[in-house]
């Protein structure tokens, strides 16, 4: 039996934002730092999949402190995403409530900003559903710790006091982080992953969160019975 289920956040629990929103946030971060006419290539380097080398290269081009550039980028990225959550552009998937039937502790390990994760959970009023919810801190050290590194997953396991979670993700980095932590994984094939071949191989593949309930080893409350009040808690 799995003793817990831990989720990636974006593309698993909530829908992805349009890439243009993250690009707009990054342009705004440069503007905030007084760089009003940045090279579009440099801006693009700071939108997604940012590496420490990217930050150093781009900061150097404008005589900026790398940590300040990255922190500002993260702050704007988070505030733009929170605005999208507030107005419904970023929302929980329709099958979100099915995870309430899992009869084991739940957690989140995301490479999004901690600020974004905290806001989403509070906005959706589901903070108490998760025993632990990790995002990244807004510093460059987090770039060395994020998935595929198992750092935050192992911290989440330790904080939940669990040893055999199932980790659910929509990216190769999720599956790799699970493998590095020595735990099973489930690849969730959302629409944006219709043609993706996950690598490394996940332990399971599901098409939605409700499919998790059918995986052998995932504890389900009520053994599939609908609660007397019709609810799914
Ligand atoms: Mg994801």
Tokens of 27: 């342009």
Q: Where are the domains positioned within the chain? A: 4-14+93-224, 19-86
Which residues hold their Cβ within 5 A of ligand 1, which is an ion? 8, 10-11, 170-171
Q: Tokens for 216? A: 């052998």
Q: How far is the CA of 36 from the centre of ligand 1 (A)?
A: 31
**pLDDT, tens digit, for every residue of 70-123?**
999 999 999 999 999 999 999 999 999 999 999 999 999 999 999 999 999 999
The values of phi and psi at residue 192, to 5°, are -70, -5
Which structure tokens are listed for 80? 């733009």
* pLDDT tens by residue, 147-206: 999 999 999 999 999 999 999 999 999 999 999 999 999 999 999 999 999 999 999 999
CATH code reported for the domain at 4-14+93-224? 3.40.50.1000
- Ligand 1 centroid to residue 230 C-alpha, Å: 31
Locate all alpha helices (DSSP H) within the chain, ordered by sequence: 19-32, 40-45, 52-61, 66-86, 114-123, 141-145, 151-160, 172-181
Residues 6+ apart with CB under 8 A from 114: 134, 135, 136, 137, 138
Confidence band, pLDDT 50/70/90 cuts, at residue 229: very low
Confidence of residue 222 (pLDDT cuts 50, 70, 90): confident
Q: What is the CA(168)–ligand 1 centre distance, in A?
A: 9
The first and second tokens of residue 181, run together, are: 């932590």
Considering the entire predicted model, what is its pTM? 0.93
CA 61 to centroid of ligand 1, rounded, Å: 31
Return the percentage of the chain with pLDDT > 90, whole number.
Answer: 95
Cα–Cα distance between 123 and 225 in angstroms, integer?
A: 29
Residue 118's nearest CA partner among 109, 106, 127, 110 is 127
Report how far ligand 1's centroid is from the alpha carbon of 13 (Å). Answer: 9
Element (H, E) at 5: strand 4-7
CA 7 – ligand 1 centroid, Å: 9
Distance 111 CA to ligand 1 centre (A): 8
Please give the distance of CA 46 from its chain centroid, rounded to a whole number.
18
CA 10 – ligand 1 centroid, Å: 4
How many Å lie between the centroid of ligand 1 and the Cα of residue 93? 13
- Rounded to whole angstroms, how far apart are CA atoms 48 and 26? 10
Name the residue among 2, 48, 54, 52 with its Cα closest to residue 22: 48
Place of tokens 């911290």: 155
Q: For position 80, what pLDDT does the model report?
A: 98
**96 touches 13 (CB < 8 A):** yes
Q: How many angstroms separate the alpha carbon of residue 78 from the centre of ligand 1?
A: 15
Give 59 Cα–ligand 1 centroid separation in angstroms. Answer: 27
**How far is ligand 1, taken at its centre, from the CA of residue 12, in Å?**
6
**How many A from CA of 41 to the centre of ligand 1?**
24
Cβ atoms 71, 139 nearer than 8 A? yes
Q: Which residues contact 137 (CB under 8 A, 6 or more apart)?
A: 114
Q: Are the C-beta atoms of residues 119 and 126 closer than 8 Å to each other? A: no
C-alpha of residue 53 to centroid of ligand 1, in Å:
23
Alpha carbon of 144 to ligand 1 centroid (Å)? 18
């Amino acid at each position: 039996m799995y003793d817990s289920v831990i989720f990636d956040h974006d593309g698993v629990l909530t829908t992805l934002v349009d890439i243009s929103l993250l690009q707009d946030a990054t342009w705004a971060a440069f503007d905030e730092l007084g760089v009003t006419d940045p090279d579009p290539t440099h801006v693009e380097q700071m939108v997604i999949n940012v590496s420490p080398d990217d930050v150093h290269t781009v900061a150097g081009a404008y005589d900026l402190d790398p940590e300040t550039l990255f922190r500002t980028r993260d702050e704007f990225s988070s505030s733009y995403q929170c605005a999208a959550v507030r107005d419904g552009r970023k929302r929980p998937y329709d099958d979100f409530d099915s995870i309430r039937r899992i009869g084991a502790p739940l957690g989140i390990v995301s490479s999004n900003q901690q600020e974004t994760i905290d806001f989403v959970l509070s906005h959706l009023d589901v903070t108490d559903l998760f025993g632990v919810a990790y995002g990244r801190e807004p510093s460059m050290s987090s770039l060395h710790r994020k998935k595929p590194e198992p750092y935050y997953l192992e911290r989440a396991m330790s904080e939940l006091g669990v040893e055999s979670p199932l980790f659910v993700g929509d990216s190769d980095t999720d599956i790799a982080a699970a493998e590095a932590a020595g735990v099973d994984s489930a690849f969730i094939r959302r629409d944006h992953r219709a043609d993706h071949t996950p690598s490394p191989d996940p332990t399971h593949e599901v098409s939605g969160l409700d499919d998790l309930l059918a995986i052998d080893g995932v504890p389900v409350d009520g053994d599939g019975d609908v609660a007397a009040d019709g609810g799914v808690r």
